[in-house]
Amino acid sequence: MNGANVARVRALCAEMVARIGLDLRGRVVVTEAATGAYAVTPVLAQLAGAAEVRALARDSRYGTADEAQAQVVALGGTGVRFTRVKDAALFDGADVVTNSGHLRPIDARTVGWLRPGAAVSLMYEPWELRPGEVDLAACQRAGVSVAGPDEHHPDVGVFGYLGVMAVRQLLDAGIPVRGSRVLLLCDNGFLDDIGTGLRALGADVTVAERPEDGPPGRLDAVVVALHPREHYRLDHRAMVYIGQRYPGAVVTQYWGDIDRTTATPVWPPTPPEPGHMGILPSAVGADPIVALQAAGLKVGEVLTLGRPPTPEEEAFLLRVPERAVT
Q: Which amino acid is at 292?
A: L
In tens digits, the chain (326 residues) has pLDDT values of 656 599 999 999 999 999 999 999 999 999 999 999 999 999 999 999 999 999 999 999 889 999 999 999 999 999 999 999 999 999 999 999 999 999 999 999 999 999 999 999 999 999 999 999 999 999 999 999 999 999 999 999 999 999 999 999 999 999 999 999 999 999 999 999 999 999 999 999 999 999 999 999 999 999 999 999 999 999 999 999 999 999 999 999 999 999 999 999 999 999 999 999 999 999 999 999 999 999 999 999 999 999 999 999 999 999 998 777 76
168, part of any domain = no
63, part of any domain = yes
The answer on 197 and 239 residing in a single domain is yes
d(CA 142, CA 145): 9
The answer on 107 and 21 residing in a single domain is yes
**Domain count across the chain:** 2
Of residues 193, 174, 178, 187, the one with CA closest to residue 250: 174
CATH number of the domain enclosing 69: 3.40.50.720
The answer on 55 and 185 residing in a single domain is no
The answer on 216 and 189 residing in a single domain is yes
CATH number of the domain enclosing 233: 3.40.50
The answer on 246 and 116 residing in a single domain is no
| Cβ-Cβ contacts under 8 Å for 258 (sequence gap 6 or more) | 224, 232, 233, 234, 235, 238, 239, 251, 266
34, part of any domain = yes
Instruction: Give the domain extent around 38.
Output: 3-156+283-324
CA-based torsion, 52, 150, 32, 68: positive or negative: negative
* Other CB atoms within 10 A of residue 132 CB: 11
Write out the DSSP string of 143-195: T-EEEEE-TTSTTT-GGGGHHHHHHHHHHHTT---TT-EEEEEE-STTHHHHH
CA-based torsion, 265, 270, 272, 278: positive or negative: negative
Helical (H) or strand (E) element with 224: strand 221-225
8, part of any domain = yes
d(CA 63, CA 320): 32
